[in-house]
Amino acid sequence: MCGITGYLAFHTTAKTVLEGMVGALVHRGPDKQALWHGSIDNSDSTSIGLGHTRLAIMDLTDAGSQPMESHCGRFVCTYNGEIYNHLLLREKLAIEGKEINWRGHSDTETLLAGFEAWGIIETLKQVHGMFAAAVWDKKKKNLVLMRDRMGEKPLYYGWQKETFFFGSELSAIRAHPDFTSEINRDALADFLKHNYLPGSASMYRSVFKVTPGTICIVDPAGRTCEESAYWSTVSEFQKVDKGLSALSEDQLIEKTRQTLGRAVKSQMLSDVPLGAFLSGGTDSSLVAALMMEQSDTPINTFTIGFDNPAYNEAEFARNVAKHIGSSHTSVTVSGQDALNIVPELPTLYAEPFADPSALPTTMLARITREHVTVALSGDAADELFYGYERYEFTKTVWNKFRKIPGPVRAIIAAVVERVPYRFWNKSLTILSERMPRLGNRDLNVDRLLKGAALLHAPNLKSLYHQLNQHWDHSQDLVNGSFAKDITRDLSASIGTGLSDSEWMMAYDLLTYLPDNILVKVDRAAMSISLETRTPFLDQDVMQLAWSLPENVKCRQDEQKWVLKKTLEKYIPKDLIYRPKVGFGVPLDDWLRGPLKEWAEELLSAETLNQHGFLNTSKVRSIWMEHKAGRRNWAYRLWGVLVFTQWYANEIATEVSRSTPIAAKPATSD
């Protein structure tokens, strides 16, 4: 696992520029940094630079160093990732009569050999792995950027002035002197809506993310960057063979075990110490159990526990580790430990990222890195095997709403929303006292008002959109924004022909998974040079998940049924069938307590007016309500706070570079 960066420039560029870009990514690869320089058109007036910072996982010798040239000398590659089937690809090359004098056993060399033999797109179609790469084609005089199918590894790019640049993280691009940091207000509105940034935009107007499953061909002569897909999640989802419905339940369970087992085995390939995250939940427990089944010695598993029992699953993880026989490390942390990481978030993520679970994820990664260099996780199982509670909740709510005529729903919503908050709070408090078995959690005013807002949804898809956003009209919050919710455009690409359950999972695979879950884990882990791997995103596992009948993913309200039945082979049922605790933090209480002073400074009228991006009165209004305990606006406020803190860091960075930051309203494209 590594960090990659580089540029194409229509002027000569000092080699120290590339050194600075690579230096911004050393945390992603502390073992070795290397540069490659050339000319775009063999003249002194143009330049190309490729940079690489290495975290050595496979082939620890210099034979695995990058940037690497192909055997014929046509391609130069800087690459970040792991190709799990690269040894099989070498066998295929040999069978086809390609005689290659291999320099080492790195997957980078395999990838380049594939490009020479089959071409770039055809090679990528055969690859099982996670990656982001940039390849300079000396023959065609173009630069090709590429990203794995699901977006496990990041890659940003953009044109500014007379320079094209790219990097694993925005910090590398920002290190180039031609970079100017004009904020993308439309992207900011999308970010505040979701607390992560969906789609291809970044927080800078001229910088973008390579879309998962695509290549971008950069033509220096025409100053163009054309993107084309070698993989489509939606197409694969829709065309998959549903023939597995003819198999018995036992056969489906065994097929799931074998398919996931092969994926786990392929991702255990490593020349450095390896382990697994273990929360005690179904997904991570199954991955850890399959690792143990294929290991001659106890694998290393890692858990963090919290001193707050409401957020603590450590005891479950310890019991799972005991049953599967792993060598387990469990560390208990406090809320203060998590709070201490808050100031680091802008640096860790290099752009605003407001999923609060980034805090415990970062702590878990740091504890894990003390022992191993690679860790497998159970991420993506929820999106593939129907694991989120919101799937069933959405269907249940919509089945009730659809029975009420739209105009009637609108009237009910208006009445609920117009009644003063204090009235509802007092009424529900009295009701909960008289009916204690319902509990305060079920009689929550914020839940009531959220439900009223959902009444406006015209269909299930719109309802699901609303459930997955924090601000209904975030473009009104951001001054100068003309944003349309990018996730609605992405969901429209899913098309028809899917059931409601399939549609929601496909939506999350296009949005929430690549832009939230995978970003969270990648940045948290790579900030301390820990490689993470995701067996559930193996191509064969994904195709299996899409092929399975719905009734084995969810049965009698038991979600991820087939995974849990598979896990029964390894651990007792009482460790499987239990309420999920989650991996969250008490954000609402923190903002009224230990983070109150920090938040007050960032949300002051003076601060908000100074940068001018947000509607000060709207932000101040919800902050005052939250502080007073009248409403729980924790997640709305968290997105604003993360952005404001990040922007403060941006100003400090720009001052140090003596380059003014652009803070003018965006214009509609």
Looking at the structure, tell me whether residues 481 and 627 fall in a common domain: no
Q: Among 352, 354, 302, which residue's Cα sits nearest to residue 326? A: 302
Domain count along the chain = 4
At 582, the pLDDT band (50, 70, 90 cuts) reads low
| Secondary structure (3-state) at 457 | coil
Give Cβ neighbours of residue 82 (< 8 Å, ≥ 6 apart): 1, 57, 58, 107, 129, 130, 131, 267, 269, 531, 533
197-209 pLDDT, tens digit per residue, is: 999 999 999 999 9
Q: 667: which DSSP letter?
A: P
Q: Among 275, 367, 292, 361, which residue's Cα sits nearest to residue 330? A: 367
Looking at the structure, tell me whether residues 99 and 211 fall in a common domain: yes
Looking at the structure, tell me whether residues 196 and 270 fall in a common domain: no
Give Cβ neighbours of residue 498 (< 8 Å, ≥ 6 apart): 237, 238, 506
Q: What is the pTM of this model?
A: 0.93
**What is the distance between the alpha carbons of residues 147 and 152, in angstroms, rounded to a whole number?**
8
Looking at the structure, tell me whether residues 259 and 375 fall in a common domain: yes
Inter-CA distances, 223 with 123, 158, 174, 270, 322, Å: 26, 11, 20, 40, 58
Looking at the structure, tell me whether residues 436 and 492 fall in a common domain: yes
Flag whether 664 is in a domain: no
Flag whether 520 is in a domain: no
Looking at the structure, tell me whether residues 561 and 624 fall in a common domain: no
Among 55-59, 368-372, 583-587, the minimum mean pLDDT is found in 583-587
At 190, the pLDDT band (50, 70, 90 cuts) reads very high
pLDDT of residue 222: 80
441 or 666, greater pLDDT: 441
Flag whether 519 is in a domain: no
**What is the distance between the alpha carbons of residues 575 and 280, in angstroms, rounded to a whole number?**
8
Flag whether 393 is in a domain: yes
Looking at the structure, tell me whether residues 342 and 475 fall in a common domain: no
- Mean residue pLDDT across the chain: 90
Among 149-158, 333-342, 407-416, 428-437, the minimum mean pLDDT is found in 428-437
pLDDT of residue 487: 83
Domain boundary pick from 211, 231, 251: 231
Residue 74 burial by CB count (10 A; 0-12/13-18/19+): exposed, middle or buried? middle
Flag whether 516 is in a domain: no
Could you tell me the residue range of the domain that residue 405 belongs to? 389-506
Flag whether 205 is in a domain: yes
Among 2-11, 409-418, 595-604, the minimum mean pLDDT is found in 409-418
Looking at the structure, tell me whether residues 419 and 329 fall in a common domain: no
Looking at the structure, tell me whether residues 396 and 375 fall in a common domain: no
Amino acid at residue number 67: P
For residue 166, the domain's CATH number is 3.60.20.10
Residue 33, phi then psi, degrees to nearest 5: -120, 140
Flag whether 665 is in a domain: no
